[in-house]
Structure formats: C-alpha cells, structure tokens
Amino acid sequence: MATDVNKQAILDSYAAVVGQLPDVAARARALAGEIDRVYLVGCGGPNRSMLPVEYWIEHFSAALEVRRYFPAEFIRLNPRRLDARTLVILGSKSGTTPETVQAAEFVRGKPCKVIGITEKADSLLAHAVADPILMGAGAGGGAMLMLLLALAGGLMVERDKWPLFGPLMRSLPNLPQVLADVSAGNEARAAEDARLLKDDRILYHIAAGPMFSTAYVWGVCVLMEMQWMHSVPLEAAEFFHGPFEIVDQNTPIVLMKGEDPSRPLIERAERFCKKYTERLFIYDSADYEMKGIDKEIRPLVQTQVVQQALRRVSDRLAVWHNHPLSTRRYMWKTEY
C-alpha cells in the first residue's frame, strides 16, 4: 500500500521556510534599488520552480527584466548584461548539483549580486555564495517556490509598487497547510487514477503558462526519473502545432489547468482532448479550496497545489509498478 498522508510531517517540512519569509522579502526590498535584471539559474525541479516566478515578474513588473537559465547553458552563454545591476538567484535543493555549484563559482568574481537557495549550510552551494537562504533539511517541494515568491514580491513592491505584496505575505505562511490538505483530500482520486494509468508506459501532460512548471516536474522529475515512464510534458500554446496529431481515443493525457492569464490556452486543448480521447484526466487548481490564500494570490501558488495532488498519483503508481520512487538507474550511481 502507498504510505498514508502525514499532514504534520508536511507542515514540519516547511517550518523553517515559513519562519524566514519576512526576512527574505526584506532582503529583496533592500536590494531592489540596486538591480534592473533577475537571472534565475537552476537544474531540474528548481529550474521549473523558477518558471512561475519568471512568468509573474514578466506579467507584473515594468521595471525588471527576468530570464531563466540552466546552469551549464548560463556558464557557456556568459550573458553580456551580467553586471552590477543584475541579481543572480541560484537554486539547488541538495546544494550539491554540480552544474549549479559551478555556476556559483562562475559568478563569484563578477560584479552581479548573488543569492543561493538550498537546504543546508554545509552544502557546496551554501559555501559557494556569501549569504545563502536555507530551506532546512527535508524541505517540502514547494519550499523553493515560496522563497522565490517572497524574493520576487519584495523586488516588485519596491520597483513597481506592486499592490499584491501584502496579500502575498499574508498567504504564503498558509500554503503548507493547503498542501497538506490537498494531499489528504486527493487520496481517493489518486488511487483510482493510478489504477487507470498503471499499465501505460507512455503518458502525455498538457499545461499552459506557469502551470507548465507542474507538467514538467511531474512528467520529467517524477515519472521519467522515478518511474522510468515515457512521460512527455507539452505546452498548450504549442499543442496544435504538431503534438495533437498523436491523440486518439486511447491516448492517456493529464491536463493541468490554472487560474492565470493562460487559462484560455489550456481550455482550447481541453475541448480538443474531450472530443478525441476517452482517457483524459483533468487537474484544475480552481477545484481546490486553498484556505488562507487570498483570491489574487491563488494563481501564484497554483502550480504547487496541483503538483501536490499529482504526487499522490505517483506514490500509488510506484506501488502498482513495484518500483519505489527512490529507485535510480544512473543518477548518483554513474559518471555522466
């Protein structure tokens, strides 16, 4: 059987993050007048946690330029505008991701400002930056998103007089409870969806805008990495430019809907999929209560809410497949 949801353990995993949100936002506010650009740098899950933050800075801020990079590409590209008016935010949960540590070393001698986010003070990334932000050991999957949103909010309230800073800072401390409730509340559906998907080795995920973060993390960082499934995330904005030709009545598709400006894009894909496949699984952030999250802030945290619900599906798939989520074939075991 899949492990039962331990709501207290989820809350405990976020305790260190919740406690420092005001300080993290204050740090961003202090830096805001000194920067014009934000470069988000990370691999895998951290990189995709940065995607919603990139989206919302682009959406809300007229003052800040924002870009997101994979560390290896960032180093090779060596952006010409990496100057004293640039803030580089590096993210690695373990703090040992080689490319991210290398990126920290790469920017060490440059005039840009640098922030590193990781779990523990004794990690390589924490040692490579002057004043790291620490999530705490065992930090939940949404911890980096919470810290990134606090940083982005602090920057935007100073540079753009962003009106949602207050609602954001009121809402973020309540997110861990929301995630615990979502995990527990999705148990019955997760068990049934996993049963329906257990024999599929190819699975497609469609999302739009910031929700593509969830499609990628669940499809690549969980199902591909942890279940060795052929799991393909697709952008709704690109779906009708090739990928939709793969759909027939037996094609399993998980469609992830958000409450952001990209929603019409995913609704278009939804209409098509309802017409041509009998195996459509829809996860909509609007279906979750998100108690304690201001209405205006729901779109900013929606990615983690849907990801939390889907994680319970992968927990169940791991049981059906007799393949624990901790199993790896190459990662941490071979040279690559």
**Locus of tokens 């740090």:** 27
Residue with tokens 């492990």: 3
Q: What CATH number is given for 186-320 in this structure?
A: 3.40.50.10490
If residue 188 lies in a helix (H) or strand (E), which one and from where to where?
helix 187-197
Task: For the chain, give the mean pLDDT.
Answer: 96
Task: Classify residue 289 as exposed, middle or buried by CB count within 10 Å of its CB (0-12, 13-18, 19+).
Answer: exposed
Q: Which pLDDT score, from 0 to 100, does residue 2 have?
A: 66
Cβ proximity of 182 and 288 under 8 Å: yes
Write the DSSP symbol of residue 291: T
Q: Is the dihedral of CA 191, 212, 113, 59 positive or negative?
A: negative
| 268-283 tens-digit pLDDT | 999 999 999 999 999 9
d(CA 330, CA 207): 29
What DSSP string runs through 63-121?
S-EEEEE-HHHHHHH--TT-STTEEEEEE-SSS--HHHHHHHHHHTTSSSEEEEEES-T
Please report which residue ranges of 217-327 form alpha helices under DSSP H. Answer: 225-227, 263-276, 298-320
Residue 89's φ and ψ, nearest 5 degrees, are -110, 115
Torsion 35-36-42-46 (CA) sign:
positive
- 331 vs 264, more confident: 264
CA-CA distance, 70 to 41, in Å (whole number)? Answer: 6
More confident residue, 131 or 160: 160
Q: What is the mean pLDDT of residues 12-40?
A: 97
Contact indicator for 10, 176 with CB cutoff of 8 Å: yes
Q: How far apart are CA 79 and CA 262, in angstroms?
A: 29
When pLDDT is cut at 50, 70 and 90, the band that residue 336 belongs to is: confident
Summarize the chain as % helix, strand, coil (round to 5): 55, 15, 35
* Rg of the Cα atoms in the chain: 20
> Is 175:304 a contact under the CB 8 Å cutoff?
yes
pTM over 0.75: yes
Contact assessment for residue 89 and residue 117, using Cβ atoms and an 8 Å cutoff: yes
The domains of the chain are located at: 7-173, 186-320
Please determine whether the domains at 7-173 and 186-320 fall in the same fold group of CATH.
yes
Residue in 322, 324, 315 with CA at minimum distance from that of residue 191: 315
pLDDT of residue 1: 54
Contact (Cβ atoms closer than 8 angstroms) between residue 257 and residue 263: yes
- Are 297 and 167 in contact by the 8 Å Cβ rule? The answer is yes
- Is residue 190 within 8 Å of residue 237, measured between CB atoms? no
CA 53-57-62 angle, to 5 degrees, is 175
Q: What are phi and psi for residue 243, nearest 5 degrees?
A: -60, -30
Architecture of domain 7-173: 3-Layer(aba) Sandwich (3.40)
106-132 average pLDDT score: 96
Residue count of the chain, please give it: 336
Structure confidence by residue, pLDDT tens digits, 150-203: 999 999 999 999 999 999 999 999 999 999 999 999 999 999 999 999 999 999
| 46-85 pLDDT per residue, tens | 999 999 999 999 999 999 999 999 999 999 999 999 999 9
Residues 281 and 254 sit within 8 Å (Cβ to Cβ): yes
